[in-house]
Amino acid sequence: MEKRQILFGKYEMGRFLGKGTFAKVYYGKKLDSNDSVAIKVISKDQVNKQGMMDQIQREISVMRLVRHPNVVEIKEIMATKTKIYFIMEYVKGGELFTKVARGKLREDLARKYFQQLIAAVDYCHSRGVSHRDLKPENLLLDENGDLKVSDFGLSALPEQQRIDGLLHTQCGTPAYVAPEVLRKKGYDGAKADIWSCGVILYVLLSGYLPFQDQNLMNMYKKIFKAEFDFPPWISPDARRLISKLLVADPNRRIAIPAIMRVPWFRKNFIRSSSFQIREKEEAPIFHDLNSTNQDADQGANSSKQSGSGGLRKSISTPAFFNAFAFISSMSSGFDLSSLIETKKKTGSMFTSRCSAEAIVDKIEVAAEGLKFGVAKEKDFKLRLEGTAEGRKGKLAVTAEVYEVAAEVAVVEFSKSAGDTLEYVKFCEEDVRPALKDIVWTWQGDTSTSCNGNGVVNGGEPTNTTKS
């Protein structure tokens, strides 16, 4: 009888599903619920030898950001001394490519997949993520026939843009790559993704690629000119949309809000509710077994969870911030915990040597000055809500004060509702200047400090008193 392979005392690892450059993917089951999962196993040694740890970090950061019904979900990240494990949603329907390889799809089915693709890509873009390798092989289908975007290994975040605000890395699959990516002069990742979506829609409706040639350079010439023909069976309405997607000039290419207004696209379109999306935004749990001698392959079942919970002394004092969460959040070099931290979060947390009461009062005054409504909740928690309608409704932000030690508090901001990029702008451009008097250290910054009178000093505070 074959011995069961148990990971971390939580998952049973089963049959081999596939292989990538640095990873092998296996079918798995969660022991307590019997739910199916996919387990992606990455060798740290191979990744380090190839200098690809940044890419792995970026993929984790991106998948942590994009929690959407039409994106493959990452559930947990676990690590031992030798391996990193992604525990991911198991999508049993396989690749969309397999379905397309059998021939063109019915227009209503192609439209459904395209609608779900655009909904997922729109959400990714709203969180600053460009996929950069959209193609039918990276689009999976679940048991309900719904589309899931996968493989964010080549994706980009805003911090990868150069001083010109553009991306410059040539990547992707040639037949699906936008002309501006091939030109090596810099490109907008979101606009390049829209081109790829246009190629995918063409493929779904025709059964073959719009730009084909045995000679790669000839194919590139066709891409540069957006030179393609329609088969006779593609409807006029679908042709019009594809013609707006496959425009060589990215500045003239249709944008997603305009795509969503096209009558052909809107037919039977069901947008995922903000509630559904918010439910999936909870960050995956991270376990690090670096400090143990056991490897998960040998059945390790102990773990350290980097949650941010803490013990509360009483209802009149803030929560004690979990020390592991504090260290891993404020230091970029703490074991593998940096893998689940994203640069998006930088600037959303600071330490202060002021009292919790003084911090809450200051945040309340600052919020009102920024025209945000303030609702005080129990346990040193505030909910701030903007008055202006943003891209995804009004921005709502939660601010919570934790006590780390007798004279040190951590203040953490998190987005409750609204657009992520608007939230990042709020943290960087509004919150930082407004709260400079009470800040000791912003996450990722060099030290500044607050004395008892609310005066900021460089380095160690002078005459610090508890207010």
Produce one character per residue of 413-429: b if its CB has 16 or more CB atoms within 10 Å, e if not.
bebebbbbbbbbebbee
The average pLDDT across 146-165 equals 86
**CA-to-CA separations, 187 to 148, 156, 169, 201, in angstroms, rounded:** 25, 12, 9, 22
Q: Is pLDDT at 431 greater than 70 in this prediction?
A: yes
Produce one character per residue of 291-302: b if its CB has 16 or more CB atoms within 10 Å, e if not.
eeeeebeeebee
Q: Is pLDDT at 283 greater than 50 in this prediction?
A: no
Residues 180-217 have pLDDT tens digits of 999 888 999 999 999 999 999 999 999 999 998 888 88
The average pLDDT across 115-140 equals 94
Instruction: Indicate the pLDDT class of residue 2, thresholds 50, 70 and 90.
Output: low
Residues 265-282 have pLDDT tens digits of 999 998 765 445 544 544
- In this predicted structure, what is the pLDDT of residue 122? 95
Q: Which of 23-32, 222-231, 350-359, 438-447 has the lowest mean pLDDT?
A: 438-447
Instruction: Indicate the pLDDT class of residue 259, thresholds 50, 70 and 90.
Output: very high
- In this predicted structure, what is the pLDDT of residue 323? 39
Instruction: Indicate the pLDDT class of residue 405, thresholds 50, 70 and 90.
Output: low
The average pLDDT across 413-439 equals 87
The average pLDDT across 88-93 equals 92
Instruction: Indicate the pLDDT class of residue 450, thresholds 50, 70 and 90.
Output: very low
- In this predicted structure, what is the pLDDT of residue 121? 97
Percentage of the chain beyond pLDDT 70 is 76
- In this predicted structure, what is the pLDDT of residue 465? 35
Instruction: Indicate the pLDDT class of residue 407, thresholds 50, 70 and 90.
Output: low
Q: Tell me the average pLDDT of the chain.
A: 79
DSSP letter at 20? -
- In this predicted structure, what is the pLDDT of residue 253? 97
Residues 33-45 have pLDDT tens digits of 999 999 999 988 8
**Residue-range domains of the chain with CATH:** 5-91+284-288 (3.30.200.20), 96-276 (1.10.510.10), 305-458 (3.30.310.80)
CA 184 and chain centroid, separation: 26
Residues 46-57 have pLDDT tens digits of 888 877 777 788
Long-range Cβ pairs for the range 120-123 (8 Å, 24+): 120/66, 120/68, 120/70, 120/71, 120/147, 120/148, 120/149, 121/149, 121/193, 121/194, 121/197, 121/256, 122/256, 122/260, 123/66, 123/68, 123/70, 123/71, 123/277
Residues 304-327 have pLDDT tens digits of 333 333 333 334 555 544 433 443
Q: Which residues are catalytic?
A: 133
Instruction: Indicate the pLDDT class of residue 342, thresholds 50, 70 and 90.
Output: very low
- In this predicted structure, what is the pLDDT of residue 65? 83
